[in-house]
Amino acid sequence: MGSGPRPSARPSARPRAASTTRVSEPFDPAPVPFTSLISAPAVLDALAQRGYVATTPIQSAVLPYALKGRPVIGCAETGTGKTAAYLLPILVKLMAAGHTDSHTHTRALILAPTRELATQIDDEIQGFAYHAPVASVPVYGGVPMGPQERALEAGVDIVVATPGRLLDHMRSGVGDFSKVEVFVLDEADRMMDMGFWPDVRRIAEMMPTTGNRQTMLFSATMPEEVMRFADELAPDAAFIQVGSSRGPAATITHEARIVSGREKSSILARELRRERGTTIVFVNTKIGCDRLARQLHQSGLRAQAVHADRPQKERTETIEAFRAGRVKVLVATDVAARGLDIDNVALIVNYEVPRSLDTYVHRVGRTGRNDATGHALTLADEGERSYLEDIEKAFGLQLLS
C-alpha cells in the first residue's frame, strides 16, 4: 500500500474494438497522500491506523477516476495495490450522504476467481470499514450455503464472491442484486483461465441495465478476450496500465536449472534447507502437489500442500500457518497463484515449468510484492527446456547460465 517504484510505462490505449470508444487519459502515477484524494473521515481513520500514507502508482492512477464514479479498467503487476484501488472508492460511495444501517440490498458486487482471494478481499473490507456501518459477506463454494443464504437474504452492502457459488444463489432468487451500483471483476484473466468466463458473463447479464452502475475490471494481464468483454461491460472506461502489461515485476530475480526428473525432489529439498525465508513451490497437478509435500515433509522440512481438492477449512488453516511462519514451505497448484496475498515470501519455485506465459507471471508474482525483492527458481528437466526458452524470449530474461 505504501509508495512504490514509478511505473515503467505511461498509460496506453489498447487496440479499440470497432464499436467502442477507448478512453486513456493522462495521469501522474507518482505517490500522493491519501488525504489529497479522500475526504471520508472513517476511511482516512482506517488508513491512518493501518499505516497507509501514500498511494502506489496504480492507486494514484485509478483513484481520481474511480472516486468520481468513472468506469475503469486497470492493469498492473501483482502486489501493487489494485485491491485498495477499487475498495476505497466503494467505501467512500457507501459512506456518502444517504447511507443507512439498513443494508436492505447489495450495492457493490466483487467477483474473484478463488475462495482464498474472496476471503482476503473481505478481510480488507473489514479493515478499511472498521469505523463505518458497512456490511459485507464472502460467498464461495466448498462450504454450506445456509449461512451465505441467510446473510444475503438479510441484506448486505458488499458481496465478494466466486462466480459459480454466486450464480447458484442468484438462480435460487437469494439476495437482492437489482440495485448494484458498483460491479468489480478482480483478476479477470484468471477467471477466464479457470473456466469461469461463462458464469461471469451470465452474472453480468443478470445485473441491472438501468442507472449509473460503475464497472471496474482489474488484472495483472489483459488477454484480448478479457478486453473485448470489458468493452462490452464498460465501453467508455478509462484504461490504465502501469508497468508491463505481461511481464513479471522488476523486483524479482529469475533463475532456472536443467536437472534430472528423478533428482528434482532431492535438489529442491537441498535448496529449501538453505533458504531462511518462506517459499511457495508450484506444481502442475493436485496429485503431484500432495506427493511433493509428503516428500519434503519426510525430508525434515515444514511443508504442506494446498490445492482445490483440499477442504476449505484445511486450506485456510494451512495458509494461515504459512503466513504465521509455522509452515515454511507451501506446495501449491495454480489455484493458489492468484488467491494468495502474503507479504515477504522470499522464494518462488517452479517445480514444474508452467505451460503458459501468464501462469509464469502469476506464479512468480507471489514474491517481490510491495517494493520488496524476491527470487524465482525454475527446475526443469530436459523435456521442459522449450518452455523455458519461450519464457526467456517473451520477457527478455536470462534464466539459464
Please tell me the predicted confidence (pLDDT) of residue 16: 36
Fold of 34-242: Rossmann fold (3.40.50)
Q: Which CATH fold would you assign to the domain 252-395?
A: Rossmann fold (3.40.50)
**Is the distance from CB of 132 to CB of 157 less than 8 angstroms?**
no
10-residue averages of pLDDT along the chain (401 residues): 36 37 53 92 91 91 94 84 94 73 80 91 92 90 93 94 96 92 91 87 82 86 82 87 73 93 94 92 94 94 90 86 92 74 88 89 84 90 92 89 68
pLDDT at 3: 36
Q: Where are the domains of the chain?
A: 34-242, 252-395
Specify whether the CB–CB gap between 378 and 257 falls below 8 A.
yes
- pLDDT reported for residue 225: 83
Give CA separation, 37 vs 119, 243, 249, 301, in Å.
27, 22, 27, 47
C-alpha cell at 200: 461471469
- pLDDT at position 339 is 60
**Distance in angstroms (rounded) separating the CA atoms of residues 363 and 357:** 10
Domain 34-242 and domain 252-395 have a common topology: yes
- The cell numbers describing 268, all together, are 529442491
Closest CA to 62 of 17, 111, 117, 24: 24
Q: 376 to each of 73, 249, 279, 280, 396, how far by Cα in Å? A: 29, 11, 10, 10, 15
pLDDT of residue 1: 43
Return the pLDDT at 359. 86
Asked if 264 and 381 count as a contact pair (C-beta separation under 8 A), the reply is: yes
Strand partners, 376: 254, 348
Q: What is the predicted pLDDT for the residue at 358? A: 81
